[in-house]
């Protein structure tokens, strides 16, 4: 019994008198000339360049989306695509506050959503340019995040002071006869 691809090829090539000539793009589907060069993939092949690029982006890309819940194993391992992260958060953490899920993950998504790193680019200098207007845009985003962090640090100090004052008040009240 012949395999399905060879049966398809035989049927297609028998009908060549009835149909226009088979183009190189169609033959690529059979010959699968695009292969992954990563040693972990054992030379997996693809019928079109888009399939190879998608594979490289999802399996070998450096961009990761991490779960915002620190106790979750995916907090460190991450996901190759944002929609995978979103469905994970919906399934695994349905009761988590919405603001918590939008922390660093949404920032990562915003930074990289404009134009992701091009994988397999012939021009190596373009390979590292990411959305937000390249390096300058990333520097501006970094400064903005540093300013936000500074504000949060100031707020954290105030909260810590309030906690200390309340703890001292509770201790004083429990030692005396105020309660």
pLDDT, tens digit (0-9, with 9 covering 90-100), for 24-39: 666 556 666 678 887 7
CA distances from 60 to 48, 55, 117 (A): 18, 8, 12
Exposed e or buried b per residue across 22-48, where buried means at least 16 C-beta atoms within 10 angstroms of its C-beta: eeeeeeeeeebebebeeeeeeeeebbe
> Residues 6 or more apart from 96 whose CB is under 8 A from it?
68, 69, 89
Average pLDDT for 1-22? 54
Paired residues of 79 in beta bridges:
65
Is-above-0.75 flag for pTM?
no
User: Between 147 and 112, where is the model more confident?
Assistant: 147
How many percent of the chain have pLDDT more than 70?
A: 56
CA-based end-to-end distance of the chain:
89
C-alpha–C-alpha distance, residues 116 and 37, integer Å: 21
Q: Which residue's structure tokens are 């990333």?
A: 138
Range from 14-23, 55-64, 84-93, 149-158 carrying the lowest mean pLDDT: 14-23
pLDDT at residue 40 greater than cutoff 70: yes
Average pLDDT for 149-163? 91
Q: Are 69 and 93 in contact (CB under 8 A)?
A: yes
Span 91-130, pLDDT tens digits? 998 876 644 444 444 444 444 443 344 344 444 334 344 4
Q: Are 89 and 78 in contact (CB under 8 A)?
A: no
C-alpha–C-alpha distance, residues 33 and 164, integer Å: 67
Tell me what pLDDT residue 164 has. Answer: 92
Sequence spans of domains, the chain: 63-131
Span 62-77, pLDDT tens digits? 667 888 888 888 888 8
């Amino acid at each position: 019994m012949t395999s399905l691809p060879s049966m398809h090829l035989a049927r297609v090539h028998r009908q060549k008198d009835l149909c226009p000539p088979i183009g190189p793009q169609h033959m690529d589907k059979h010959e699968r000339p695009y292969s992954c060069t990563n040693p972990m993939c054992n030379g997996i092949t693809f019928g079109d360049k888009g399939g190879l690029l998608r594979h490289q982006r999802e399996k070998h890309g450096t961009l990761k989306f991490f779960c915002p819940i620190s106790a979750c194993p995916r907090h460190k391992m991450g996901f190759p695509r944002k929609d995978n992260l979103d469905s994970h958060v919906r399934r695994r953490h349905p009761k988590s506050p919405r603001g918590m899920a939008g922390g660093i993950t949404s920032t990562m998504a915003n930074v990289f959503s404009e134009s992701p790193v091009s994988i397999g680019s012939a021009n190596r200098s373009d390979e590292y340019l990411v959305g937000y207007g390249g390096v300058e845009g990333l520097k501006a985003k970094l400064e903005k995040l540093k300013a936000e962090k500074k504000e949060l640090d100031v707020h954290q100090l105030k909260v810590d002071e309030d906690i200390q004052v309340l703890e001292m008040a509770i201790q004083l009240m429990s030692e005396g006869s105020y309660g």
